[in-house]
């Protein structure tokens, strides 16, 4: 039987993650794999409620450390309810964001100490890391102008350009430290080229 793989897609807003997730899932299905597609924060009832809480503009103040723990609370539920069961059934999992987003946004963006994220990641998923993480990379100018043309800005999208510069730098730093797990794709190219790069990457990297 083909080995189940866990693939995550990462990047700042407006880099085309949603269509890239569909591209990865289609490729896996075309190659005979059963696939679960999901996202973070989200993927479960609890996760979707956390998503609404942290993304919507509301009057609820959220301290950076509380934001970090909410992301991990949603993730703990997601792992228990969706990700681990799917992998145990032999299904591949394609997830729109995972713990690398926490390092990028709560670490890089909010400036929380990385050791706190290390501890929470160890507690919540231990050694379970993605087989492959595709980082769609583009400048915040490119990403945010696309995201803002698409819909009204959510709580994160309302952050300043410098916030996204820190998020992007944190992603690139993780990708260079963990080059075996990550692949960086230039998301400023047109969508057809980005998807062609993704398919070539999957063909080269997957067992």
Question: Residues in the site for ligand TMP, rule: CB under 6 A?
Answer: 13, 40-41, 55, 71, 96-97, 101-102, 105-106, 156
Which residues have a Cβ under 8 Å from the Cβ of 51 and sit 6 or more positions away? Answer: 41, 42, 74
Both tokens of residue 112? 């929380």
Cβ distance to ligand TMP smaller for residue 33 or 77: 77
- In the complex, minimum distance from the CB of residue 151 to ligand TMP, in angstroms, rounded to a whole number: 10
Cβ distance to ligand TMP smaller for residue 4 or 20: 20
- In the complex, minimum distance from the CB of residue 195 to ligand TMP, in angstroms, rounded to a whole number: 18
Cβ distance to ligand TMP smaller for residue 33 or 157: 157
- In the complex, minimum distance from the CB of residue 104 to ligand TMP, in angstroms, rounded to a whole number: 7
Cβ distance to ligand TMP smaller for residue 33 or 134: 134
Residue 36 CA: distances (Å) to CA of 10, 50, 81, 134, 188: 17, 21, 12, 17, 27
- In the complex, minimum distance from the CB of residue 1 to ligand TMP, in angstroms, rounded to a whole number: 30
Contacts 24+ apart (CB under 8 A), 56-61: 56/154, 56/155, 57/154, 57/155, 57/158
């Amino acid at each position: 039987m083909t080995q189940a793989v866990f693939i995550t897609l990462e990047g700042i807003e407006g880099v085309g993650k949603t269509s890239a997730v569909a591209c990865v899932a289609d490729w896996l299905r075309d190659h005979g794999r059963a696939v679960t597609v999901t996202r973070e924060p989200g993927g479960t009832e609890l996760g979707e409620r956390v998503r609404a809480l942290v993304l919507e503009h509301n009057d609820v103040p959220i301290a950076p450390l509380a934001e970090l723990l909410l992301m991990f609370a949603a993730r703990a539920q997601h792992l228990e309810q969706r990700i681990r069961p799917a992998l145990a059934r032999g299904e591949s999992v394609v997830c729109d964001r995972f713990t690398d987003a926490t390092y990028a946004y709560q670490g890089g963006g909010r400036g929380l100490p990385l050791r706190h994220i290390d501890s929470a990641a160890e507690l919540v998923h231990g050694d379970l890391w993605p087989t492959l993480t595709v980082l769609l990379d583009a400048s915040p100018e490119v990403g945010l102008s696309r995201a803002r043309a698409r819909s009204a800005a959510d709580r994160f999208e309302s952050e300043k350009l410098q916030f996204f510069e820190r998020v992007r730098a944190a992603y690139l730093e993780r990708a260079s430290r963990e080059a075996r797990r990550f692949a960086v794709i230039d998301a400023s190219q047109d969508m057809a080229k980005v998807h062609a790069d993704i398919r070539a990457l999957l063909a080269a990297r997957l067992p």
